[in-house]
Amino acid sequence: MRVLLYLTWATVLRFTRENRVVRSVVWPTFLGPVTVSLTLVFLAVYRTPTLAVAIPPGLDDAIVVQLEQKEWVVLVDDDPEQAVLDGRAPVATDGATVWSSTLMVNALALEEIVRDVRGSGWRMTPLVQVPPPDRIGIMAGHSLRPLGFLYMLYAMVFAMGSVARDRDASILDVERTLPVAEWVPGLARWMATVLVLSTAWGVTVLLMVVTMNCYQPVDHFMRGVGAIAAAAALGLALIGGAGLKQGFSAPFAAGTFLVAGLVSTGLAFWRLGFLPIVGLMNNHPGLTPMSIGLLLGPPAAWVYAWRVRRSS
């Protein structure tokens, strides 16, 4: 255990002393939240607001015509009230009730249209003001997903690159002379990769919380850690004996293909969101994918050691 911790710490120090590694980690950590914040400011200042209203299927055609003539964006939804609650539309009506999570003037404008169709003597009851959803926080959470994907790719590259680099520096030959099991150096590389990138990922999530009040930051963090751990394990298992037979490019291409395929699977099958990498773009609670991802490290180290023996 002492040797494992020592090798892990030594690998962490080597990561932090390499300028390219530091730049690659710092760039998404700070540039992502700053870019998103500036984009939101730009949109808030220059974007012309669009009035959108959710209506149920079969609503009076006269109301629909009035809405379209006044350039409302009409969203047909089976449950208009839930559309407002979920943030899909700022206002909604079923022809008798108006739901609103936006400015009262928009709700009153919608009421005016309905009253014109129904008759001037008609008055809506009730006018329901719904608490507005945290759109900024939700947008910040969505912005974290591509950053998490980037960190996941970093994890695979770090795991593979550390092995390939040590092969070129003849460090692998020195490791084989150590009186430790062959899986220990591999596990140390995996642990160092997860530790460095999870720390940077945590800082990224924290910045999103501070600048934009990110929605469900803990789950985003745990899903990201699970993806980082799983991608690092995948990279370590694929690189094997430092690519002695096929080089670094082939394992990297295979790993990138697998990671992209797993992410695409998560987008297509949301019920698989409990799996690491697959659940990165999902809303599944983050504890399960993080736990599974962290459990993949030791098996990946064993596969790495087995492939090292085969390539010797």
Q: Which pLDDT tens digit goes with each residue over 30-66?
A: 776 677 677 767 766 655 456 789 999 988 888 888 8
Say how far apart CA 274 and CA 290 lie, in whole Å.
9
pLDDT of residue 188: 86
Residues in the chain: 312
- Domains along the sequence of the chain with CATH: 2-39+135-311 (no CATH), 48-129 (3.40.190)
Over the stretch 158-188, which tens digit does the pLDDT of each residue have? 888 777 777 766 676 676 677 777 788 888 8
Which structure tokens are listed for 12? Answer: 């962490």
Cβ within 8 Å of residue 84, ≥6 positions away: 54, 90, 91, 92, 99, 100, 101, 130
* Residues in the chain where the model's pLDDT stays below 50: 48, 242
Note if the pTM is more than 0.85.
no
Between CA 98 and CA 68 the distance in angstroms is 17
What does the pLDDT look like over 215-225, one tens digit per residue? 788 888 999 89
